[in-house]
Amino acid sequence: MTSPMRNIAVIGAGQMGTGIAQTCAAQGMTVMLTDVDLPRAEAGKAAIGKALAKLMGRGKIEADEAEKLLARITPVADYAPFAEADLIIEAATEREEIKNAIFEKAGQVLATGAIMASNTSSIPITRMANHSPDPARFIGLHFFNPVPVMGLIEVIPGLATAKETTDAVTAFARGLGKEVVLSQDEPGFVVNRILLPMINEAVFVLGQSTAGIEDIDKGCRLGLNHPMGPLQLADFVGLDTCLDIINVLYTTTRDSKYRPAPLLVKYVEAGWLGRKTGRGFYDYSGEVPVPTR
Ligand code: CAA
């Protein structure tokens, strides 16, 4: 199914934003990519170039195809060019105040009929929609990391989201070659509501010395056939992001089963945030990751 939305704006040039930009450009869409400043947006495009070079090295993509894909992505300094976008996707830090400020600012240029979406992992869509110019055209569009590889997008309409908006972004998601799961606007939606308690529990298991880091991961890889163990996956997602999500589950439901594991809080306080900082439950400075406990 081809979506009529071809002009996409992505806010946030980190792991998720660059993955979304690459995936859209791979389908022939034009993408404007922005971050807090132009150098960060440019660094995001450079990271996509690096990922494509890796794929070229493995014979997964031809050089001219990679070049064309990259040419469809334009780093931009501010939101003014987003007036041309059919769809604005916010993929910034998982903090509500940061996202709300983005919706208010980007909302000033949102074209009539264009849609604004958030890639939030857990923050209520209905609440954030109030910071957009038109809650009927605001929706959750939750991608999974690494975006070019993962086959799923969660679509989360808020209370005020129009059916036309849900239909349009569902067609857009399918146009990216992804399957769609429709979720109600409940904390953590579907996948993170299940995933984050698992990761958090793995950190409790570690904190209580029931098993070490490698055995916890091995247990889930071999015993459950997961591609990564929960602590490896936590490092992959980012421990700060994991803590942010479990905190949203905890504070919005007030259910003690979602209380963050104290050791997870400690790792974040230490600045050991996972792969992106070179150290989380594993140390990534050498050839192979080494457990930190
Ligand atoms: N663009 C396109 N393709 C890419 C790519 C990119 N940037 N990066 C990797 N690939 C492709 C590779 O070419 C490879 O393709 P083939 O299988 O056809 O050879 C495939 O992806 C796998 O890559 P690798 O061989 O490098 O790595 P791997 O086999 O070790 O798999 C993994 C890596 C896909 C990450 C796998 O370990 C995995 O699935 N892990 C679990 C990931 C997961 O659970 N993600 C969800 C996290 S939760 C989330 O995102 C939501 C949230 O809100 C927190």
DSSP, collapsed to helix, strand or coil, labels residue 95 as coil
Atom 37 of ligand 1: nearest residue by CA position? 227
Q: What's the chain's length in residues?
A: 293
Q: How far is the CA of 9 from the centre of ligand 1 (A)?
A: 24
- Report pLDDT digits (tens) over 3-47: 899 999 999 999 999 999 999 999 999 999 999 999 999 999 999
pLDDT category at 1 given cuts 50, 70, 90 is low
Active site residues: 121, 142, 154, 192
Atom 28 of ligand 1: nearest residue by CA position? 227
Q: How far is the CA of 280 from the centre of ligand 1 (A)?
A: 19
Q: Which atom of ligand 1 is nearest to the CA of 145?
A: 50
Top-level class of domain 191-291:
mainly alpha
Q: Assess whether the region 7-182 and the region 191-291 belong to the same CATH fold.
A: no
Q: How far is the CA of 148 from the centre of ligand 1 (A)?
A: 8
Q: Are 12 and 145 in contact (CB under 8 A)?
A: no
Q: Name the residue among 94, 82, 69, 102 with its Cα closest to residue 33.
A: 82
Mutate to test the pocket of ligand 1, among 22, 149, 228, 240 (most ligand atoms within 8 A of CB): 149
CATH code that applies to domain 7-182: 3.40.50.720
Q: Name the residue among 266, 241, 268, 246 with its Cα closest to residue 258.
A: 246
| pLDDT surpasses 60 at 103 | yes
Q: How far is the CA of 105 from the centre of ligand 1 (A)?
A: 33
Atom 13 of ligand 1: nearest residue by CA position? 55
Atom 21 of ligand 1: nearest residue by CA position? 149
Q: How far is the CA of 227 from the centre of ligand 1 (A)?
A: 9
Domain ranges of the chain: 7-182, 191-291
Q: Name the residue among 276, 254, 279, 255 with its Cα closest to residue 267.
A: 279
Q: Which atom of ligand 1 is nearest to the CA of 195?
A: 48
Q: Name the residue among 147, 60, 148, 162 with its Cα closest to residue 116.
A: 162
Q: How far is the CA of 95 from the centre of ligand 1 (A)?
A: 25
Instruction: Please state whether the predicted TM-score (pTM) of the whole model is above 0.85.
Output: yes
Considering the chain, what is the average pLDDT of its residues?
Answer: 97
- Report pLDDT digits (tens) over 229-242: 999 999 999 999 99
Instruction: State mean pLDDT over 91-117.
Output: 96
Atom 7 of ligand 1: nearest residue by CA position? 51
Atom 24 of ligand 1: nearest residue by CA position? 149
Q: Are 233 and 199 in contact (CB under 8 A)?
A: yes
What is the per-residue pLDDT for 94? 87
Q: At residue 88, what is the residue type?
A: I
Q: Which atom of ligand 1 is nearest to the CA of 236?
A: 47
Contacts of 54 (CB under 8 A, 6+ apart): none
**Share above pLDDT 70 across residues of the chain, in percent, rounded to a whole number:** 99
**Ligand 1 surroundings by CB, under 6 angstroms:** 51, 55, 58, 60, 121, 144-146, 148-150, 192, 195, 227-228, 233, 237
pLDDT category at 135 given cuts 50, 70, 90 is very high
